[in-house]
Each structure stands twice: as C-alpha cells, then as structure tokens.
C-alpha cells in the first residue's frame, strides 16, 4: 500500500524506469540495409543538430563548403573541438552524446576521442544493436521506410532480414509535397502516372500504396508536412488525400501519421540541419478528423505554439492520437511542459515521446533523458492525485506509465 505522497512519487519514478518502451517513430534501418543504418561515435557527433550548432561557434575560416568536403571523422573532430571541448556540451544534443557514450561504459571525462573510436571499431552491428535496445529499454522501434528513394527500395524489394525489434512504416510525403519527383520514381517502378494528376493517376497511386503495404506491412503511413499545410483546399494535395492516401490507409487498416510544421531548407548550406519551424493550421487536422471519422490519424506538430490547440482537439476525436515531442520540441523544458499539458487534458490517452533517432546510438540518450523528465512529471501528478483523496496502487501506476510509453499507441492501432 502506498501510504503517502513520497511513496507515490517514488512508485511513479520507479515505474517509468522499469517500463518497456515502444519507440513509435525513428529513422533507423536493419543491419541488412548496410550503410543506411547509421551508428558509431562519428555518426553521433556529426548528427545534423550538432552540425548546425557547430556553425554558431565555428571560426570564420570554416566555411560550409570546407566542412562538407571533409570526411566523416574530420567533421566529427571539428564538432568535438568546438562544441564539446571549447564551449561545454550544454545543449540537449551535445549532452545527449555524452550520456550515450557514458552509458556504454566509455570514459567521456577523459575527452579522448581516439580511444572512443577504437572501442566502436571493435564492435559488430549485429551485437551492438540489441545492446542499444537493451540500454534504452525498448521492445521495438518503428522505422521510416521511403519507397520513393532508390537506395531504400532496393533493400525493401530484396526481402532482406529484419530483427523483430524494428517495425516498418511507409513514408509517403513525396506524394503531397514533391509530386514531380514522386511520379518519376513511380514510373520507374512500373506505375502509369501522369505529371498532371487525374483519376487514372490517382488509381495508380492507390495501387502503389496497396502494393507497398502488402510488401512491408507498415504500422502506418507517414508524411512530414510544412506549416503551410491546409486541408481542404483547391490544390492537388487535397485531391491526393481524398482520392488516394486516405482510401488506401482505410483499406490497409492503418493510421495516417502527420508530422506538421517543418520549414524545409531555410539554410541549405547546413544540409539536413538547415530546416526550421513554423506554426501550422491545427484546424486542418480537425477537418480531416471530421471528414474521415473512420480513418485513424497519428499527429505530432513541430511548433510549441500549436501544442495546446492540438491537445484540445485530441479530446474531441477518438480517431486522433497525439505522439511525441518532435525535433525542436525535444528539449527538456518543452517536453516537461507538453507532457504536463497532455496529462492534464488527456489523462494517458497519448504517446508521450518518440526518439526520431536517425543514429542508432541516439536511442540511449533520448530515452534516458525522457525517463528522467517524465518520471518527475508523473511523480508530481500522482502526488496531486493522492492529495485529492485517490489511492493509486503500484500496479495502476505501472499500467498508466506503459500506456503513455506505447500501450496507448498499440491500443489505437488495434481499435
């Protein structure tokens, strides 16, 4: 029996540390996909968050062009020098790299990057991947599989082995944001589509989605959309949603996941780190939920400005499930705020976080940091509940914790 608020708070933190997590959105790949799976210290240090951070402090003679002309190790050396050694690794991305290396048992206090590299060179990916999942405390992670990228379709078409801890998702935003390139790739794959979208083309898009669904059996369809995304409007984007994507998702019985609010390429010289954020139109999500009450929508939004309105919307539609603190919201202060807000409005009917990991090693720090943050939030919330007169048990707390770390997601998929 939990007899006081201290015991309740301790039980909440313990449950968060003990629960197995489902990571509902990543950019990882199975080892069989070769170089598509990024891992190791140099990949960790040259992640685009840290590349962008480097150029806030880089010496004047380091141009973007010069940086990108270097090999990966030389790029990592520059980031190690200027972000970690000369400035202090205080940003979330930099602290995350330190957390990862430390939990792997490496001596980060010694600041010896050469010895850290030597340790990674001795690892094999088939042994390293399960170790990372164990340290992160995950049962499985959902990948992002893009049938419009030849380097991925070659692997996906080859029926290559994939461990049970990685599940596919079908990335389809080219259909909505870059139709010309999407059509070009679909033609190469034998689908008779036209540059000018018509009824026959939309039928071919549905066939394309059905074929890839049958091939990889995705947990959901996924699209990353800009802050200018509007539904409905008089563009081909709305037609594509109404006549192809939503019907294909309904037929497959999978949700359509929308990640909304990224301003692409505001500084192209930074590569993947050149994207920014903008507030989006939450009412477009509302209208999709209204128009398609039997289609499930997974949604996360990039701007902090959108979080309250989106959270309120999730109270109104059973076909809408919120997930994660995406990208620029993946900072401790914002994660805490968003989690408190969601609990206060939704109880446990949401998924608190996803890692969005592009580098395998990032799973370690993202979930270590997240557990600490959300454990503290839940300790407060259960203490408040105890003070109000309710007496939660350890079993009830463990149930609720699992819900916001994957249980509610799986219930939503099965609904």
pLDDT digits (tens, 9 = 90+) for 134-190: 999 999 999 999 999 999 999 999 889 999 999 999 999 999 999 999 999 999 999
- What average pLDDT does this structure show over 31-40? 98
Q: Where are the beta strands (DSSP E) in 302-407?
A: 320-322
Q: What's residue 159's pLDDT? A: 83
Q: What's residue 287's pLDDT? A: 98
Chain segment 223-253, per-residue pLDDT in tens: 999 999 999 999 999 999 999 999 999 999 9
What the chain holds in terms of domains, given with CATH numbers, is 5-39+135-414 (3.20.20.140)
Report the C-alpha gap between 204 and 181 in whole angstroms. Answer: 15
- What average pLDDT does this structure show over 59-72? 97
In contact, 311 and 345? CB cutoff 8 Å: yes
Report the C-alpha gap between 100 and 90 in whole angstroms. Answer: 14
List helix spans (H) across 62-217. Answer: 64-69, 72-79, 92-103, 113-121, 125-136, 150-156, 174-177, 179-188, 199-216
Q: What's residue 1's pLDDT? A: 75
Q: What's residue 63's pLDDT? A: 97
Q: Would you say residue 409 has pLDDT above 80?
A: yes
Angle, in degrees to the nearest 10, between helices 362-387 and 92-103: 100
Q: Would you say residue 377 has pLDDT above 90?
A: yes
Q: In Å, how far are 65, 90, 105 from 79, measured between CA atoms?
A: 15, 13, 22
* Cβ neighbours of residue 410 closer than 8 Å, sequence gap 6 or more: 22
Q: How does residue 76 score in pLDDT terms, banded at 50, 70 and 90?
A: very high
Q: In Å, how far are 262, 264, 272, 288 from 275, measured between CA atoms?
A: 7, 5, 7, 26
Q: Would you say residue 402 has pLDDT above 80?
A: yes
Number of Cβ within 10 Å of residue 349's Cβ equals 18
Q: How does residue 388 score in pLDDT terms, banded at 50, 70 and 90?
A: very high
Q: What's residue 354's pLDDT? A: 98
Q: What's residue 147's pLDDT? A: 98
Q: In Å, how far are 146, 163, 168 from 30, measured between CA atoms?
A: 14, 7, 10
Q: What's residue 130's pLDDT? A: 98
What is the residue-averaged pLDDT of the chain?
97
Q: What's residue 247's pLDDT? A: 98
Chain segment 311-367, per-residue pLDDT in tens: 999 999 999 999 999 999 999 999 999 999 999 999 999 999 999 999 999 999 999
pTM for this prediction: 0.98
Chain segment 254-287, per-residue pLDDT in tens: 999 999 999 999 999 999 999 999 999 999 999 9
Number of Cβ within 10 Å of residue 91's Cβ equals 16
Judged by phi (left if over 0) then psi (alpha if -120 to 50, else beta), residue 20 lies in: beta
Report the C-alpha gap between 230 and 237 in whole angstroms. Answer: 9
Phi and psi angles of residue 228, each rounded to the nearest 5 degrees, phi first: -90, 5
């Amino acid at each position: 029996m939990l007899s006081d608020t201290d015991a309740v708070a301790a039980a909440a933190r313990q449950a968060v540390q003990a629960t197995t997590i489902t990571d509902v959105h990543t950019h990882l790949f199975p080892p069989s996909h070769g170089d598509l799976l990024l891992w190791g210290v140099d990949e960790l240090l040259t992640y685009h968050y840290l590349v962008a951070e480097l150029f806030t402090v880089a010496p004047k003679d380091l141009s973007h062009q010069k940086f990108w002309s270097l090999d990966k190790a030389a790029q990592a050396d520059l980031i190690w020098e200027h972000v970690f050694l000369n400035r202090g690794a205080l940003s979330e991305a930099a602290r995350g790299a330190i957390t990862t290396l430390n939990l792997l048992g490496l001596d980060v206090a010694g600041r010896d990057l050469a010895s850290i590299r030597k340790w990674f060179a001795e690892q094999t990916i088939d042994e390293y991947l399960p170790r990372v999942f164990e340290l992160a405390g995950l049962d499985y992670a959902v990948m992002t599989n893009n049938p419009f990228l030849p380097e991925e379709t070659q692997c996906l078409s080859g029926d290559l082995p994939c461990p049970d801890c990685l599940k596919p998702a079908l990335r389809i935003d080219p259909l909505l944001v870059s139709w010309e390139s999407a059509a070009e790739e679909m033609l190469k794959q034998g689908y008779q589509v036209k540059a000018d979208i018509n009824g026959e083309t939309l039928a071919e898009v549905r066939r394309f989605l059905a074929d890839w669904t049958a091939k990889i059996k995705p947990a959901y369809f996924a699209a990353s959309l800009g802050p200018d995304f509007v539904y409905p409007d008089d563009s081909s984007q709305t037609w594509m949603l109404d006549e192809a994507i939503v019907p294909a998702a309904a037929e497959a019985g999978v949700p359509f996941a929308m990640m909304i609010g990224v301003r692409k390429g505001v500084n192209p010289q930074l590569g993947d780190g050149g994207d920014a954020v903008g507030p989006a139109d939450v009412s477009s999500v509302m209208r999709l939920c209204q128009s398609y009450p039997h289609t499930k929508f997974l949604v996360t939004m990039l701007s902090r400005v959108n979080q309250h309105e989106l959270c309120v919307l999730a109270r109104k539609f059973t076909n809408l499930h919120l997930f994660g603190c995406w990208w620029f919201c993946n900072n401790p202060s914002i994660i805490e705020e968003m989690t408190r807000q969601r609990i206060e409005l939704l109880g446990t009917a949401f998924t608190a976080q996803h890692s969005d990991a592009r580098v395998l090693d990032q799973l370690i720090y993202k979930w270590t940091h997240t557990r600490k943050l959300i454990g503290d939030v839940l300790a407060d919330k259960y203490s408040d509940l105890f003070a109000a007169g309710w007496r939660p048990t350890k079993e009830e707390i463990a149930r609720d914790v699992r819900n916001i770390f994957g249980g509610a997601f799986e219930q939503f998929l099965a609904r």
